[in-house]
Structure 1
């Protein structure tokens, strides 16, 4: 059986299937599809057939590697939502791991057998079969590692170059080691162990380097997000602080004008035209009085401003908030929590027909906990990846800062934020313990 060309062709075909199925799994875990499953699966089958053909005709291994990297990158960019640099890095990392596990499996066989060189593994024998089985088991073992990846990183150009250079260097190093091993014979047992250790360290070092760079980039991303959140909170706070000052002046004027109107009404008692004019003036003044009252001036300003926006855009806006025992919450956090929460709800409602738009906000105190529930209608489909909402906007970095701002403010008071949604409704609930 080991001398049968058909057997080895089937073995090569199965081996290639495993490599590309694992590659597809990695891409599915790290990216969203850009094409439908039929197109992606068809492309995978074509790639498998092409690589199998190259293996069967015994094309130069370095040329085959270059072709594999090229079609892997084209497949990635064409079928998945990824930037050019991210696609290049993940593709190179996978092929680096692929050639790395081949090198490791080769050295394992050389160490446990009496074969003197790699050329002995190119023949149709049991050792070649063992090497293929070991290498495919190793490549399959990366699946749980990929499933446990906790973050998705978008790299800048300079950061991408810093990652790409060592990956390419490692791939070239593996190719050089393979070439040297092909030419060397009669290696000692110590030399075989050394080659196995060196090849293993080569792969582990590159994986560690990528993990370190990824952690640094993630840290920088978090810092940038926090900076943007603080800037956004400051802008919102100063906006409503300015409105509060204006509101205080208006309320003072409103109070004084009401007193003046009472005096004028007494002076012109019995004059119908004067009474009509005075009533009209009084109605005009009443428009400046807050429609919604929460017992907190900043919150009153926020919800009344948002109510005016909702009225203009035919959104049914219903608010009932008992804020009487929440004086410990800073004004800047009140602005962050409620303005972002309502802005997100308004944005979702704007995608609907006028008759289906609604926002309902209920704030109550339950067992020494201030509970806020905001419900709004929606039509857009919400996607989750690793418990995070995935945006369909082009500016994915800035998207979601509203929710993050809310969480940042709520966490200052040992509170929690929960998000739930259905096909036509989005719900955010906030829990803040009273002090």
Structure 2
């Protein structure tokens, strides 16, 4: 019964480790998730009750784990080794060496008993090791359940070197007990425990390195997106300045052309030209030329998508904000509102942008209707979460840079972003 319980805990550990590290299945999810633990359990039962190969079973288990992972999941070879190493560490070296070391102190080194002339570990110690195994599994799962970073091959190689040290000492202890019938392996168990802790520290260090590397890449991508957005508005601003500089002259030319050639074709041509420059009469004059360009660009995009866009913005005297931060706040917020509005019927598409100084605070409010079933989120609903989802975090960073605060409200299918920034 204790052997069966131990096999169940072994299989559970193997299953949990694959669950934490192997996210992409090769086959249907049920098949890829269930096949490895089932095959593993059958193999362990055969080697426990029907095949007597002693400590050499460890090599069979290693190979079996790696093959099952590579067959059922789309992972790299070094990732499969990481899963195998962590699973084996929890199954045998760490739990057994720590358990035997602790119980050896309690039983004054007398951890063995005789049953029908065979020396085996006392059942109390066996139970303690199984309970310790479950405890370590719970701790490992809580630490690794959200693991989503790719450990590079060179980091995996360093971790594998630490694992080899643990394995050599652990195998010597297991070989002495199973093959040589050595009863006292307390020194080897103590060394295995220490090396197991070293392995865990090494792995956690590699995990943190992977996290920092991933975060650095995300930061670079965010900065590149913001710089690209900023460059776009700068170029738009230059174009708008050139067009606005000739706007009034063009308007006068139209008046002259209409008065001199009073024909239907001339009037039609003048009307066409007048409609083409009409957008420049509808400018939102905020007091900040850069913000004017942003609002004009977003208003044009909203019109293309049949969205009612309204902007009441007074930025006169607000000169403490950098253009890049203005672009980050207004550009991302309005883009989010446009994206949400696209999923609504045309008569419900509405975006309102307001900004003004209220005493010593800059108050910015952006509202839009949202489809039913939407929930407040600061991430993204897109599948590619690595590329998308920067909008709101970037807005928060830009606002917090000036000591401001953001609040997000969803009430009666109206999404409201409210920003308060104190004047310096």
Q: TM-score, normalised by structure 2?
A: 0.76
The answer for unaligned runs of 5 or more in structure 1 is: 1-9
How far apart are residue 369 of structure 1 and its match? 5.7
Q: For each residue in 1:388-424, what CA deviation from the matched residue of structure 2 results, as whole angstroms up to 9, or x when unmatched?
A: 658634xx644444454444333323345567899xx
Q: For each residue in 1:108-131, what CA deviation from the matched residue of structure 2 results, as whole angstroms up to 9, or x when unmatched?
A: 344433666879799878844223
RMSD (CA atoms): 4.5
Name the residue aligned to 1:240.
233
Q: Which is further off, 168-177 or 303-312? A: 303-312
How far apart are residue 102 of structure 1 and its match? 1.6
State how far apart, in whole Å, the 1-side matches of 2:66 and 2:381 are: 24
Name the residue aligned to 1:146.
141
Q: For each residue in 1:140-184, what CA deviation from the matched residue of structure 2 results, as whole angstroms up to 9, or x when unmatched?
A: 223135324576322223233233332243223321233346648
Q: For each residue in 1:9-53, what CA deviation from the matched residue of structure 2 results, as whole angstroms up to 9, or x when unmatched?
A: x32222222232244344445564744457634653443333233
State how far apart, in whole Å, the 1-side matches of 2:76 and 2:115 are: 39
The answer for unaligned runs of 5 or more in structure 2 is: none
Name the residue aligned to 1:3.
none
State how far apart, in whole Å, the 1-side matches of 2:54 and 2:372 are: 52
State how far apart, in whole Å, the 2-side matches of 1:69 and 1:428 are: 55
State how far apart, in whole Å, the 2-side matches of 1:48 and 1:94 are: 14
CA spacing shift, 1:162–1:43, aligned 2, 3 Å: closer
Corresponding position: 1:230 with 2:223: yes
Alignment counterpart, residue 412 of structure 1, candidates 401, 404, 409: 401
Q: For each residue in 1:355-379, what CA deviation from the matched residue of structure 2 results, as whole angstroms up to 9, or x when unmatched?
A: 7995745445697463444657679
Name the residue aligned to 2:419.
431
Corresponding position: 1:161 with 2:174: no
CA spacing shift, 1:363–1:14, aligned 2, 3 Å: farther
* Corresponding residue pairs, total: 413
Equivalences for residues 65-104 of structure 1 within 5 A: 65-76=58-69, 83-100=76-93, 101-104=95-98
Alignment counterpart, residue 126 of structure 2, candidates 121, 128, 132: 132
State how far apart, in whole Å, the 2-side matches of 1:83 and 1:321 are: 54
Q: Which is further off, 352-361 or 37-46? A: 352-361
CA spacing shift, 1:153–1:39, aligned 2, 3 Å: closer
How far apart are residue 244 of structure 1 and its match? 0.4
State how far apart, in whole Å, the 2-side matches of 1:78 and 1:217 are: 25
State how far apart, in whole Å, the 2-side matches of 1:282 and 1:252 are: 16
Q: For each residue in 1:193-216, what CA deviation from the matched residue of structure 2 results, as whole angstroms up to 9, or x when unmatched?
A: x54542221111111111122222
Corresponding residue SS for 2:92 = helix
State how far apart, in whole Å, the 1-side matches of 2:244 and 2:276 are: 13
Corresponding position: 1:336 with 2:328: yes
State how far apart, in whole Å, the 2-side matches of 1:268 and 1:414 are: 60
Corresponding position: 1:171 with 2:159: no
CA spacing shift, 1:341–1:157, aligned 2, 3 Å: farther
* Aligned residues of 2:13 and 2:87 also touching (Cα < 8 A): no
Corresponding residue SS for 1:141 = helix
Alignment counterpart, residue 15 of structure 1, candidates 3, 6, 25: 6
Corresponding position: 1:108 with 2:96: no
State how far apart, in whole Å, the 2-side matches of 1:408 and 1:41 are: 44
State how far apart, in whole Å, the 2-side matches of 1:185 and 1:68 are: 23
State how far apart, in whole Å, the 2-side matches of 1:65 and 1:421 are: 56
State how far apart, in whole Å, the 1-side matches of 2:130 and 2:286 are: 64
Name the residue aligned to 2:199.
206
Equivalences for residues 4-403 of structure 1 within 5 A: 10-29=1-20, 32=23, 34=25, 35-37=28-30, 40-41=33-34, 43-57=36-50, 59-76=52-69, 83-100=76-93, 101-113=95-107, 127-142=121-136, 143-148=138-143, 152-180=148-176, 183=180, 192=186, 194-262=187-255, 268=260, 274-290=266-282, 296-309=288-301, 312=304, 314=305, 316=307, 318-320=309-311, 322=313, 324=315, 327-343=319-335, 360=351, 362-364=353-355, 368=361, 370-373=363-366, 375=368, 392-393=383-384, 397-403=386-392
* Aligned residues of 1:16 and 1:52 also touching (Cα < 8 A): yes
CA spacing shift, 1:253–1:151, aligned 2, 3 Å: farther
Q: For each residue in 1:74-131, what CA deviation from the matched residue of structure 2 results, as whole angstroms up to 9, or x when unmatched?
A: 5555666755533431332221232221222233344433666879799878844223
Corresponding residue SS for 2:402 = coil
Corresponding residue SS for 2:419 = strand
